């Protein structure tokens, strides 16, 4: 490894970072992370902090999960790669599919299709949902509905159902036939409705109206995150996703749960769909499926969809879709070890308990710091603080304010993530109460510096 001087001199010089302008990375050099242990990361200067970002919502078990590291190393020795395209498979992926089936059975999901990450999983679910209708003799069902403020990765299909202009405008034209309804976001919504239950009903009415307007027979699927993540951590009212499910069922529309963040315990339940009592047709997973140690994902497929594909007599059920790394044996070995550790440690319960402590602590911070306009959380370890320059008008904070909070909090011992006016927290699910206090104290310092 090159020394610190080399790394700092060349930081962002010959690479472009995702999700920012190349010039920004040169003006504001990224933190160079060189080590990770437990729930902490260390930078090139040896400064150690609690990682309240959890990598990118994905290092659920922290940086020291030895069983996953061992599984990866052993699999690299045994069989570092083989394809799962027609005609070949591998031992790990067969075993993993049985384990995932058991894990996702309460959600009604019985088959797996493997990918290299979340965007791939979304793309897969969108494509297979169109194919499902074609097999069933309804080729006109091609449109997709989704939520404004939703995030579904960056492939063309995913970007088209995304509900945030930042990921769309510069890449247009996107996929035709994608329509968005308002998110059930009590702090900001076009209905000016702050009651979460009433707002959920208004958003469901908007969905019903859009289905009628488009024509149910033209719509393939509705895709949503059970709790919106990258859009600023927006937990919908508990009535919302079941309401979406009912409208989908009534209209023959498939329901895709994008659980790239929420699967495997982050919300305090094993899946976001289970949290809301919903049984989706597809569930997109990635991220924590390997604790981020290997790029890997799985689309879980519902019983009804599986039946249509498996009992097809039309010849239209051949899957003309897949990735070179679908079912990668090293990824599958990592996922097997990760799933075992995730369940052995029962991380969903710790996510719920530490999430409640963190949420209460953030609400206490709000009473002391005017810049905190909204505190969102209450479901495990996905939380956000929305910063404003004026609480009464909810005017969003100037760009510099969240950056100041972030940099002071970092010096004080915690890495947090800034996304627009939001400070987003998604720490590892193996966090302790002591770690929660470190995060809160660091944020307190950050806000006190404004």
Ligand X SMILES: Cc1ncc(COP(=O)(O)O)c(C=O)c1O
**Of the ranges 239-247, 257-265, 335-343, 392-400, which one interacts with ligand X (CB under 6 A)?**
257-265
Q: Of 230, 275, 333, 347, which lies in the binding site for ligand X, with binding defined by CB under 6 A?
A: 230
Q: How many residues bind ligand X (CB under 6 A)?
A: 14
**Of the ranges 84-92, 168-176, 223-231, 245-253, which one interacts with ligand X (CB under 6 A)?**
223-231
Per rule CB under 6 A, is residue 258 in the interface with ligand X? Answer: yes
- Shortest Å, Cβ 100 to ligand X: 17
The sign of the dihedral angle between the CA atoms of 187, 191, 196, 200 is: negative
Rank residues 296 and 447 by Cβ distance to ligand X and give the closer one.
296
Per rule CB under 6 A, is residue 260 in the interface with ligand X? Answer: yes
Per rule CB under 6 A, is residue 111 in the interface with ligand X? Answer: no
Per rule CB under 6 A, is residue 122 in the interface with ligand X? Answer: yes
The pair of three-digit structure tokens given for residue 333, joined into one six-digit string: 């070995």
- Shortest Å, Cβ 381 to ligand X: 14
Rank residues 163 and 361 by Cβ distance to ligand X and give the closer one.
163
**Of the ranges 64-72, 117-125, 181-189, 373-381, which one interacts with ligand X (CB under 6 A)?**
117-125
Over the range 182-216, which residues count as b (16 or more CB within 10 Å of their CB) and which as e? bbbbbebbeeebeebeebbbbbbebbbebbeeeee
Residues 128-157 that bind ligand X (CB under 6 A): 151-153
The pair of three-digit structure tokens given for residue 55, joined into one six-digit string: 């990598």
By Cβ distance, which residue is nearest to ligand X?
Answer: 118
Rank residues 301 and 440 by Cβ distance to ligand X and give the closer one.
301
Rank residues 68 and 440 by Cβ distance to ligand X and give the closer one.
68
Rank residues 152 and 274 by Cβ distance to ligand X and give the closer one.
152
Per rule CB under 6 A, is residue 55 in the interface with ligand X? Answer: no
Per rule CB under 6 A, is residue 263 in the interface with ligand X? Answer: no
**Of the ranges 22-30, 31-39, 114-122, 423-431, which one interacts with ligand X (CB under 6 A)?**
114-122
Rank residues 100 and 230 by Cβ distance to ligand X and give the closer one.
230
- Shortest Å, Cβ 300 to ligand X: 14
- Shortest Å, Cβ 19 to ligand X: 10
Q: Of 75, 84, 97, 119, which lies in the binding site for ligand X, with binding defined by CB under 6 A?
A: 119
Residues lying near ligand X in the complex (CB under 6 A): 117-119, 122, 151-153, 225, 229-230, 258, 260-261, 286
């Amino acid at each position: 490894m090159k020394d610190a001087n080399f790394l700092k001199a060349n930081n962002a010089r010959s690479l472009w970072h995702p999700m920012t302008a190349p010039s920004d990375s040169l003006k504001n050099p990224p933190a160079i992370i060189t080590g990770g242990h437990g729930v902490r990361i260390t930078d090139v200067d040896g400064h150690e902090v609690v990682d309240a970002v959890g990598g990118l919502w994905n290092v659920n078990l922290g940086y020291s999960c030895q069983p996953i590291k061992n599984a990866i190393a052993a699999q690299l020795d045994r069989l570092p790669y083989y394809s799962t395209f027609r005609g070949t498979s591998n031992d790990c992926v067969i075993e993993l599919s049985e384990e995932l089936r058991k894990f996702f059975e309460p959600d009604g999901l019985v088959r797996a299709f493997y990918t290299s990450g979340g965007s791939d999983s979304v793309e897969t679910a969108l494509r297979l949902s169109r194919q499902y209708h074609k097999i069933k003799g309804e080729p006109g069902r091609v449109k997709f509905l989704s939520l404004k403020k939703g995030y579904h990765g960056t492939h063309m299909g995913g970007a088209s159902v995304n509900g945030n202009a930042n990921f769309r405008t510069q890449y247009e034209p996107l996929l035709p036939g994608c329509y968005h309804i308002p998110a059930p976001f009590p702090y900001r919504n076009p209905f000016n409705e702050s009651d979460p239950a009433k707002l959920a009903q208004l958003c469901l009415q908007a969905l019903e109206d859009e289905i009628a307007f488009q024509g149910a027979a033209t719509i393939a699927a509705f895709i949503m995150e059970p709790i919106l993540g990258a859009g600023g951590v927006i937990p919908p009212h508990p009535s919302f996703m079941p309401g979406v499910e009912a409208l989908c069922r009534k209209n023959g529309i498939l329901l895709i749960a994008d659980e790239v963040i929420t699967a495997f315990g982050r919300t305090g339940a094993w899946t976001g769909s289970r949290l809301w009592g919903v049984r989706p047709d597809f569930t997109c997973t990635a991220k924590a499926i390997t604790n981020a140690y290997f790029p890997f994902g799985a689309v879980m497929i519902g019983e009804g969809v599986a039946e249509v594909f498996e009992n097809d007599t039309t010849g239209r059920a051949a899957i003309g879709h897949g990735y070179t790394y679908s079912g990668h044996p090293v990824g599958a070995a990592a996922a097997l070890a990760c799933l075992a550790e995730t369940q052995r440690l029962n991380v969903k319960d710790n996510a719920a308990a530490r999430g409640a402590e963190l949420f209460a602590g953030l609400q206490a911070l709000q009473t002391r710091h005017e810049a905190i306009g909204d505190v969102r959380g209450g479901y495990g370890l996905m939380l956000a603080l929305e910063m404003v320059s004026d609480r009464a008008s909810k005017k969003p904070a100037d760009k510099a304010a969240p950056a100041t909070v972030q940099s002071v909090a970092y010096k004080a011992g915690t890495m947090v993530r800034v996304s627009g006016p939001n400070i987003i927290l998604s720490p590892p699910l193996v966090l302790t109460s002591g770690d929660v206090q470190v995060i809160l104290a660091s944020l307190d310092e950050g806000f006190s510096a404004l």
